Amino acid sequence: MVKHIPMQAIKKVALVAHDHCKDDLLAWVKANLAALQEHQLFATGGTGARLERDLGLPIERLLSGPLGGDQQLGARIAEGGIDVLVFFWDPLEPQPHDPDVKALLRLAVLYNIPTASNWATADFLLSSPHFARAYERRLPDHGKRIGR
């Protein structure tokens, strides 16, 4: 059985970037400030601090990724509190919290959350007509697969 999860026109957008990608994410947000200001924004610690400081954006800041912020975002995804994930992650630098990163990305896929991992996919996601209007996200019933 497939459930349909309503997403409002105003999306709950999580913004995350590894250290070597923070400048790119900041530049992308700055280039798309008008569109993103219409939505509710969340970010992990360091990324949120830079977005607030450099762009004056209201951000709900969570912990730093290595200190549990990625897990906080994963929990919010599982609880329905995040609609979109923009995560500029660094494919060239091993992260001390790689298991947390993998868990966050797994939950985004499991809960069918639109996810962008770089500038190009973020542009495509933001330019989708679904980004600025209500949308019903399909969520398969994974309970059958895990024996419930």
103 alpha-carbon distance from chain centroid? 13
Q: Is 54 a catalytic residue?
A: no
Catalytic residue among 23, 70, 98, 141: 70
As a three-state string, the secondary structure of 59-114 is: CEECCCHHHCHHHHHHHHHHHCCCCEEEEECCCCCCCCCHHHHHHHHHHHHHCCCC
Q: Is 148 exposed, middle or buried (0-12, 13-18, 19+ CB in 10 A)?
A: exposed
What positions carry a catalytic annotation?
70
